[in-house]
Chain A
Amino acid sequence: DMKVTQMPRYLIKRMGENVLLECGQDMSHETMYWYRQDPGLGLQLIYISYDVDSNSEGDIPKGYRVSRKKREHFSLILDSAKTNQTSVYFCASSLVGNSDYTFGSGTRLLVI
């Protein structure tokens, strides 16, 4: 079954701690994305990765960085988490040139 897997599903961190969100896909999709979802704001693009080590900032990259060392794996890193980074984070993937996204089930992050 083709899917995008996100780990962990739920995470609680203290302000200032580092956070690692992981995403994997088994479809050999070249392009992967990280979004955050907030009520009233919808899905906002944080980073996009076109392939291994080929990453580009999205609309709200500040406070985040990403890593993609294998095509099937895309990580989102928060260095020194802030309370305003409390959100639901979604990873997605797609074939190059195709905007039919497959989303993961999300990671609900609470920063206290």
Chain B
Amino acid sequence: GDSVTQTEGLVTLTEGLPVMLNCTYQSTYSPFLFWYVQHLNEAPKLLLKSFTDNKRPEHQGFHATLHKSSSSFHLQKSSAQLSDSALYYCALDPNTNKVVFGTGTRLQVLP
């Protein structure tokens, strides 16, 4: 079946350092991949969505590249900010309109 794996439950780093949150997936189809971000006591919000034409999506300084060969969609940012502290979900849509979410990675950015 379709699944998303986020191996890191918690990532802690210092403000200004680069961010990379890992995401790998399994799917029978060529799915769309997503990153959702959830700040404390707020709703999850769409951060990024993969494109069909291999363009790299970017938003708020974050970007992710879909690598079909390795089934990965890692989230990256060159310099972490305190406001980036949140719960990040990687997710996929296997073209069924039923998104499958990973278990989430909590990013904690320290001053």
Contact = CB atoms under 8 A, between A and B. Distances in A.
Q: Do A and B come from one complex?
A: yes
Interface of A: 4, 31, 35, 40-45, 48, 58, 90, 94, 96-101, 103-106
Given A40-B103, A43-B89, A97 B43 contact: no
Contacts of B98: 45, 48, 58
B101 A105 contact: no
A98 B46 contact: no
Interface in B53-111: 89, 93, 97-99, 101-104
Overall SS of chain B's interface: loop
B101 A100 contact: no
A80 B36 CA distance: 33
B99 A99 contact: yes
**What's the interface size class on B, roughly?**
20 to 34
Interface of B: 9, 32, 34, 36, 41-46, 49, 89, 93, 97-99, 101-104
B45 A41 contact: no
A44 B46 CA distance: 17
B46 A101 contact: yes
Contacts of B89: 42-43
B45 A103 contact: yes
B4 to A, nearest CB: 9
A42 B102 CA distance: 6
A43 B49 contact: no
